[in-house]
Amino acid sequence: MQTAEIHRRWLDFFEKRGHTVVPSASLVSDDPSLMFTVAGMVPFVPYLSGLVPAPYPRATSVQKCIRTNDIEEVGRTPRHGTFFQMCGNFSFGDYFKEDAIRFAWELLTTSEADGGLGFDPADLWVTVYEEDEEAIALWKQHSTLPDERIQRLGKDTNYWSTGQPGPAGPCSEIFYDLGPEYGVDGGPATDDDRYVEIWNLVFMQYQVADVRSKTEFTILGELPNKNIDTGMGLERVAFIKQGVQNMYEIDQVRPVLDRAAELSGKRYGADHTDDVRLRVIADHVRSGLMLIADGVTPSNEGRGYILRRLLRRVILSMRLLGVEGASFAELFPVSRDAMRDAYPAVAEGFDFISRVAYAEEKTFLRTLASGIQILDTAVERARDGAAAVPGDTAFLLHDTHGFPIELTLEIAEEAGVGVDEGVFSALMQEQRDRAKADAKAKKGQRADLSVYKELRGLGETRFTGYDELSHESRVLGIVVDGAPVAEAGEGQIAELVLAETSLWAESGGQDADQGVILGDGFEAEVLDVQKPVPGLIVHTVRVTVGRVGIDARAETRVDADYRRGAAQAHSGTHIVHAALREVLGAGAHQAGSYNKAGYLRLDFTHTDALSAATKSEIEEISNLAIRADHEVVTREMPLDEAKSLGAMALFGEKYGDRVRVVDIGGPWSRELCAGTHVSSSAEVGMISLISESSVGSTNRRVESLVGMEAFRNFAAERAIVQQLTSGLKVPRAELVTRVQDLGAQLKAAEKKVAALEAEKLGQRVPELLAGAETLGGSRVVLGSLGRVGSADDIRGLALQLRDRLGSEPGVVVLAGAVPAGEGTEKPVVIAATTARARETGVKAGDLAKLGARVLGGGGGGKPDLAQGGGADVAKIDEALAEIRRDLAG
């Protein structure tokens, strides 16, 4: 049975039993405490916890998930994957244990011909919480399991909680017995790999507090609404139903494994180490494909770092299999084809996905080459007597260049040297400790959202600002310093929750509105507007007059000028996006944005910097679209209809069943967007691109001023041009030529001055040679030159003096003060040696380092010529004296 078919049967089964089919949420989690969606229940947490009223009594989904906490186990066990799919059925105060158990048994054991999964009951075991007599009785009632295959286990395995005060409850797990050839008898209680957990039923029925550990907490009582949360591992069921050994061999993963084996010339099943690498490649390519499809791009932090790590592990595994060149162009299309039936978006967005993946591979292959050079140098030193590559070098390769220790060990072993793994392990542990401390600190900074639970329970905040700038409502709740209060007084900062509001809450890249909230006897300045939980708009205000209390009348008033500017910027963002795609092609896809009154920032997928001509073209197309006065049309419609019209769903954004579509010039710019917009493109006024830069190996960023801010920017530049034309007494058309001429004249003058300075310094050669002294068997010239034009002047004089010393052992050390900008100076010391002096052991690099150390800096170079510098010009004489003592010794 194909994985997509199991997926389909799951949803069909529960839909026929009254469950609302909920599409998979993005892998990028809405939960601020999570990087990714790590379990099937994550999108439903607000409903299960009661934070947000559930929109349906029962639901089902097949949720995409990513977990990387066990990344080192990938490929080594039959069931560890970074990307996996969790089939879930959920009840929000509707059915409970009996139906959950009945549904599970029915789906698993109904024949394939009748729409079930066709498991033989003789192969199934269940575990229950040892004190849950109700669940045990229900299993006996609704299944054919004998008593010995219903095992009681303790809290450590069969009791679920978040680890925090809140909902909790016992769970019941269903296992498949692979057979006696896979391990010992005795069922799941043996904790043997023979028994594969395929489904977990969580009975969320208690409220707990005083949580001391996973097994130690206080049960306060039963929840008023009991919930069901279940999860069946799709990949686990698939590998059992397909008769293969592990999840890497199922139909959605195996094709990549086979292609990697073909490219490397390896045979899967012939060597355990190679098999692990092939499984890592197959798993990580699929994970990378799905993450990029949900808008994640490689970076050095957060989600992007996880993606980068996965992709680089693929590259390194291919290298360890003997493939040193690029391979993503062979592997990613195979994964796309394996996943497209279940997730058509991977095929629709493959142009974007492939460009991101291929660019990351190209970048890392270059990084890998530089890392190999570092490792080669360390290996040579080890051969020369060190015996082992230093642990800090191995750590540098791992931390900076992405080398896993396995690669370093393998290369070192081939060269016949070892690696100091003890030091490496110690440095790795220090890094883990820092990461844990950082994560703990960040976790402690997260807001407690429970304060909004009752407020959200009063209903969803209705936004009225599309049609009006003021709206009269009432105060539903007030929060001060994270706690609910009855009122807030003059001077206090408070959060107000209203039934309706005309103030836009920051979202979709658009900054929050500015404005005021007025009521009977109070006025409040709006500082910020946010959505801390879905459907709830919270206004952070400073009460400027009177006191505001619960149930007070409250009128929201938007600052009309600010809203106009924000709408101009948001519509301008759509226009610039369309212009980028017109110039660069459909691959230039928005990857993030931010806009506020007068300003927009747009990130887009592209690898190369834009030329001046390209930026000018994009700016011109944008302003031509403004001049064309395109009508801006907003419509609400079902998501599928919007996509069929070609509306762009931006990577990483999340959409409901109904969406808002914004057209500018019809299909020229058609995007899904909930933000506020102008009514015609001419209202944007003007767009002025002010910068273009890189924000990663695959993303670029443009920034632009909009409307009056753009005009003011042009006016400021015009004033500068007028000042220059007036001061230089040239027409504007000749200004560039005149400035270029002045620049050329200045360079010529600087060159002439430098020549005069060099000539002047050259005249000091006889004087410096006359002061030479014999130290340590060499003729030594030491000189403090005072203020000098540049370090090059000192170097040139040192070389002249060295040449005049001829073939005798000779050393020249000169120091001077050179310009350091803004009227400051810095000391520079130059050392030069003759061949005869170097034969006696005198090295210019050592002398430069010595002098630089006294000057408060650093330096070095070759044995014949070296340079040092510092921060303290006053210590030049002291530095030369230290060098004299060294040479004399």
Q: Is 574 annotated as a binding residue?
A: yes
Q: For residue 700, give the 3-state DSSP assignment.
A: strand
Other CB atoms within 10 A of residue 486 CB? 9
Question: How far is Cα 544 from Cα 523, in angstroms, rounded to an integer?
Answer: 6
Beta strand ranges found along 8-47 (DSSP E): 20-21
Q: Which residues contact 458 (CB under 8 A, 6 or more apart)?
A: 476, 477, 499
Q: What are phi and psi of 391, to 5 degrees?
A: -65, -35
Question: How far is Cα 252 from Cα 342, in angstroms, rounded to an integer?
Answer: 9
CA-nearest of 192, 188, 198, 194 to 157 is: 188
Q: Burial, 32: exposed, middle or buried (Cβ in 10 Å; 0-12, 13-18, 19+)? A: exposed
Strands 778-787 and 669-672: unpaired
* C-alpha dist (Å) from residue 505 to 119, 306, 536: 50, 30, 10
Question: How far is Cα 266 from Cα 270, in angstroms, rounded to an integer?
Answer: 8
Other CB atoms within 10 A of residue 551 CB? 10
Question: How far is Cα 14 from Cα 751, in angstroms, rounded to an integer?
Answer: 83
- Tokens 């190679």 label which residue? 274
C-beta of residue 812 within 8 angstroms of C-beta of residue 798: yes
Strands 687-694 and 515-519: unpaired
Q: For residue 91, give the 3-state DSSP assignment.
A: strand
Position 708, amino acid: M
Using the Cα atoms of residue 326, residue 331, residue 333 and residue 335 in order, give the sign of their dihedral: negative
C-beta of residue 26 within 8 angstroms of C-beta of residue 650: no
Q: What are phi and psi of 363, to 5 degrees?
A: -65, -45
Q: Following DSSP, what letter does each residue of 443-470 receive, concatenated?
A: HHHS--GGGGHHHHHT-PPEE-TTT-SE
Question: How far is Cα 632 from Cα 677, in angstroms, rounded to an integer?
Answer: 8
Q: Is 65 annotated as a binding residue?
A: no
Please give the structure tokens belonging to residue 854.
């006294």
Question: How far is Cα 245 from Cα 242, in angstroms, rounded to an integer?
Answer: 9
Question: How far is Cα 538 from Cα 505, in angstroms, rounded to an integer?
Answer: 8
Q: Is 570 annotated as a binding residue?
A: yes
**In the chain, count of helices (H) and strands (E)?**
26, 34
C-beta of residue 578 within 8 angstroms of C-beta of residue 664: yes
C-beta of residue 176 within 8 angstroms of C-beta of residue 188: no
| Secondary structure (H, E, C), 118-162 | CCCHHHEEEEEECCCHHHHHHHHHHCCCCHHHEEEECHHHHEEEC
Question: How far is Cα 105 from Cα 138, in angstroms, rounded to an integer?
Answer: 11
Strands 124-129 and 150-153: parallel
CB crowding 418-454: b at 16 or more within 10 Å, else e? ebbbebbeebbeeeeeeeeeeeeeeeeeeeebeebee
Q: Which residues contact 810 (CB under 8 A, 6 or more apart)?
A: 778, 779, 780, 781, 802, 833, 834, 836, 837
Binding residue positions:
570, 574, 673, 677
Which residues are annotated binding-site positions for Zn(2+)?
Answer: 570, 574, 673, 677
